[in-house]
Amino acid sequence: MHGLFVKIVSFLLSIFSMLALQARNPTFPNPYKKVDMSKFTETFSDEFDGDIDYTVWGDHHAAEGKSTVRRGSYWNKNIAYTENSNLVIPVRYLEDGMGGTGAGWYTAGLDTSGREEGSTGFSQKFGYFETRCILPKGADLWSAFWLMNNDVGNIDGSGQDGTEVDIMESAFYGRKPFNNVVYCNLHYDGYGEEHRGKQVCWAYVKGNPYEEFNTYGVEWNENEYIFYINGMEYARSDFGGVCQNPLYMILSVEMSGADGVTSGRDNSANPDLETEFLVDYVKVYQYNDLL
C-alpha cells in the first residue's frame, strides 16, 4: 500500500510540475524521485581543502592573469580563493582594478576546460555532476553551475555535438515570491540568430539557499538530462537530442549590465553590496557500466 501511495504522489507531483512550467510558475523537487547513486562511481572530486588547483580550474573567457568584461562586471580567476575548505568566488568593487582593467565590480568564472597552459582540466561524457554550495546574496547578479564544450557553437540544428547544460542558475535574490527559486536551462547552436534554448524548469529551494548549503546536480545519459536539488528530481529533458560529447564544468557569478558597467546597483565602492558564492565541493560520477 505504501508503494502505491508513493507512486500516486510522485505521479501527481510530476503533473503539477509540468503544469507549473507551462504557467511559468516554480515547482518543488519531488521527494519520491531520488538520484540512485548505487549505479555510479566517483571520477572527480574537489573539496577545496587546500589552495585552488589551477591545473584543474582556469579562467572562463579570460586570458591568464588578465581580466575580461562579463556583462556588468569583470571576471578574473585571481579574485577567487579557498577558505575553511570552501571555494569562495567573491563579488567586490575594486577601485584600482585587477588584471589590466580599471575600477569596477569584479568576480569570476572558473572552468575545467583545460585550455590554459599547464592545465589538464576535466571533462566527461555522461554521468552525474553535483556541487554543494551557498548562493551569493545580491540583487541583479546570479550564480551558476553549468556544463559546456567548444561544439556548443556549431550550427547544425542539433545539441548532440555540444549543449550548454545549466544545472543551476540563481538570479532572483530579493525578488519575492521567487527569492528561493533556481532554474535549469539548455542551449545549443551558438548564441546568435540560430541559437536554440529551453528553460527546462524553475524550482523552489527549501530554507534559505543564500545562507544554507544545498546540492545541485544533473544526471546525464544518452537519452536525457535529469536535474536534482538535494538528490531529489525536479526536471528532465531531452531537448536538442542530448549531447553525446564530453563537457567540462563551470562555476561562475555574473552581474547584470554591459561593458563592465552594472545596470542594477551603484557603480562605485559599497561594502554593503559585496557578496560571495561559497562552494563546498564539486563531484562527478560515471555510470558503473561505462567504466
Q: What is the per-residue pLDDT across 28-80, written as a single tens digit (0 to 9) for each?
A: 899 999 999 999 999 999 999 999 999 999 999 877 778 999 998 999 999 99
At residue 61, the 3 state secondary structure works out as coil
What's the pLDDT score for residue 13?
44
- Grid coordinates in use for 112? 575545467
| Average pLDDT of every residue of the chain | 90
Q: Is the overall model pTM greater than 0.85, yes or no?
A: yes
- Confidence label for 11 from pLDDT (cuts 50, 70 and 90): very low
Question: Phi/psi of residue 244, each to 5°?
Answer: -115, 10
Q: Which of 93-107, 164-178, 259-273, 274-288 has the highest mean pLDDT?
A: 274-288
The closest alpha carbon to 226, from 177, 287, 279, belongs to: 287
At residue 248's C-alpha, the angle toward residues 30 and 274, to 5°, is: 75
Is residue 85 within 8 Å of residue 91, measured between CB atoms? Answer: no
What's the pLDDT score for residue 267?
73
Q: Which of 4-8, 106-110, 167-171, 190-194 is the least confident region?
A: 4-8
Q: Which of 12-26, 35-49, 273-287 is the least confident region?
A: 12-26
The closest alpha carbon to 284, from 130, 91, 83, 79, belongs to: 130
Tell me the CA distances in angstroms from 47 to 213, 243, 251, one per residue in order.
Answer: 14, 27, 14
What's the pLDDT score for residue 62?
72
Is residue 288 within 8 Å of residue 143, measured between CB atoms? Answer: no
Percentages of the chain per state (helix, strand, coil), in multiples of 5:
15, 45, 40
